[in-house]
Chains A and B, each alone.
Chain A
Amino acid sequence: MSQPTLAVRDLKTHFFTRGGVVKAVDGVSFQIGKGRILGLVGESGSGKSITGFSILGLVDPPGRVVEGEILLKGENLVGQPDERLRAVRGNRIAMIFQDPMMTLNPVLRIDTQMIEAVQAHHDVGADVARARARDALGRVGIPSPEERLNAYPHQFSGGMRQRVAIAIALLNNPEVIIADEPTTALDVTIQGQILYEVQKLCRETGTSLIWITHDLSVVAGLADDICVMYAGKIVESGPIDDVLDRSLHPYTKGLLGSVPSRNKRGSPLAQIPGMTPSLLSLPSGCPFADRCPRVQDDCRAALPPMVEYRPGQAARCIHPHVEGRA
């Protein structure tokens, strides 16, 4: 197998707060190949965004990456000087944020915000950068891009603003795009369009996509692989169909149970009881133990390791849903 575009190894990002150390990301590993789409799923607060910011080197104090490797085509980004990371950000790895109403600067015109993104990485004139910005707007389906370049963010709808943000992410043809719940704040119909278009663009350009969401149904039709996060750790990972159809981890099962679908109509949606544990004081054993329907005594003894129960599909559980086992 060829080298992955991006590989994250045992990443730990902690926040050193007055109340103690918050282990927002605590030993996350995954990798993504060229042109592949990886879904990163989990409840809110499970550390998905912080994982994304860690990759870009954008974790603000009191947080910091304390351990692990982030390998972009084999080169480790952790511990690199900021100028080196700046050259990567927006150029080789781009990010799209959740709330399109907040990601564009309200007092700067769209062209200013796009041209600066090109010129941050390429020594080109404003006219060249502007032409590139116009093309990028066209590619994400914004009508009359030339005129829209002169507009301010407030003159766009939420969906259009997110398209602009996607266009900005695409500007420098990055190798990886991290999309942090980019459709969560949008109408369902617009969600669908944006999902479809981002997928198409990434396939066309061979860009690897990390799609962060708390909604399993969003990644179901989109991703090749999936990582399920819980309390700062990945609890299950594998090819999308395997993980969705034959989940190993009770948490994944619980998430699937809480997605509405046709064949469950009329019956109440299943819920995962309890709440995400505080990241300040995680129990010594499995962090999901207190909410798990299959919990046994040995679950609380030690943190379960990631075990590959099926080819390519692993779970952090000692009593997984596997045929022939309890």
Chain B
Amino acid sequence: MTVFIVRRLMQSVVILLVMSVIVFLGVFAIGNPVDILISPDADQMERERAIRALGLDLPLWEQYFVFLRNAAVGDLGRSFVFNEPALRLIFERMPATLELAFTAVVLSLVVGIPLGLYAGLKPQTATSKGIMAGSIVGFSLPSFWQGLMFIMVFAVMLGWLPSTGRGQVGSFLGIKSSLFTRDGLAHVILPAINLALGNAALIIRLTRAGVRETLLQDYVKFARAKGLTHRRVVGVHVLKNILIPLVTVVGLEIGGLIAFAVVTESIFAWPGMGKLIIDSINQLDRPVMVAYLMMIVFLFIVINLVVDVLYSVIDPRVRLQDVKG
């Protein structure tokens, strides 16, 4: 297992390197920040000084190697706009995004697994059919539209919940999060539900499919033939088997939630990384874009590793080996 993890971390370095090239080229292709950053009234001298100060006078490959050299010591560049280290900007916004994504994942699990179990165990009932129809809706309605509807209904019409921003931040065991205050919770509910809906729909469908399939297995019938209670058959024999696909998908979804919280954060003015990246794209703030994308790549790598390890914990047939490539 240790060998496996070390090997995986080494592979990750290669992936990060490859991604950095792609990201660098992609960001370069979006546009020239000079046009936005420097006021049109500036004279030629001023322009050139600014370009040199930002390091934009060097050829692209040289810019890349400067970036790599700095990255090796943990410096991913300074924001053109804020003139602050890009990483610090990202880390400042990260807790808000993680908190939102975490709440959304918990919500989608807490809602998705029981509903999926029910729909899988009693597929013929009207409730099950309603759940499945609902999951299709949750799946297919565009996230931004759902978000706007939430704001209209719960914030504007009913006035139950605030519609924008992050609430008061509390502290618990040294962790700072808005989840620890009432005001914070009230603020996080709508965006978290908005972010969770598609994911919950996916978990419902996955759980239901898993239950349907597992119930047909001989080992479930054998478990019943042993005289186990229905509760134990479902809660242990069925559930433990459907956890295997669930962990994989949920793991990947967490990465997705963090990366694609952009839409939700924009709608609810949630001060997270998503909003930062949108702003940086608008202002062609290259270092922030690059740093953000590299962070996301890194996150995916870590999540995949955790999923693989979890996988081997849940499924005894899986041995973590040095898979080549």
Q: Which residues of A contact B (CB under 8 A)?
A: 53, 56, 58, 86-91, 94-95, 97, 99, 102-109, 113, 116-117, 120-121, 152, 154, 165, 168
Contact = CB atoms under 8 A, between A and B. Distances in A.
Nearest to B221: A58
Contacts, number: 76
Q: Which of A56, A102, A106 has the most CB of B within 10 A?
A: A106
Contact of B227 (A89, A97, A109, A154): A89
A109 B244 CA distance: 16
A18 to B, nearest CB: 13
Contact of A102 (B218, B225, B317): B218
A107 B228 contact: no
Contacts of A87: 227
13 contacts: A89-B225, A89-B227, A90-B227, A90-B228, A97-B218, A97-B222, A103-B218, A103-B219, A106-B316, A107-B241, A108-B236, A117-B226, A120-B227
Interface string B211-249: 000000111011111111100100011001100100000
A260 B221 CA distance: 34
B219 A105 contact: yes
B248 to A, nearest CB: 14
B91 to A, nearest CB: 39
Contacts of A86: 227-229
B315 interface: yes
Nearest to B239: A107
Contacts of A106: 219, 241, 315-317
Given A102-B219, A106-B219, A108-B240, A117 B227 contact: yes
B225 A58 contact: yes
Contacts of B315: 106-107
A107 B316 contact: yes
A97 B217 CA distance: 12
Contacts of B317: 106, 152, 154
B316 A152 contact: yes
Chain A CB within 10 Å, residue with most, of B217, B237, B244, B316: B316
B314 interface: yes
B316 A116 contact: no
Which has the most chain A C-beta neighbours within 10 Å: B223, B232, B317? B223
B240 A103 contact: no
Contacts of A152: 316-317
A56 B225 contact: yes
Given A97-B222, A116-B232, A154-B316, A107 B227 contact: no
Contact of B240 (A58, A99, A107, A121): A107
A95 B222 CA distance: 8
Given A105-B241, A107-B240, A154-B316, A120 B219 contact: no
Nearest to A171: B226
A152 B225 CA distance: 20
A91 B227 contact: yes
Given A105-B237, A105-B241, A113-B223, 4 more contacts: A86-B227, A90-B226, A120-B228, A154-B316
B319 to A, nearest CB: 10
A105 B220 CA distance: 8
A184 to B, nearest CB: 13
A89 B229 CA distance: 11
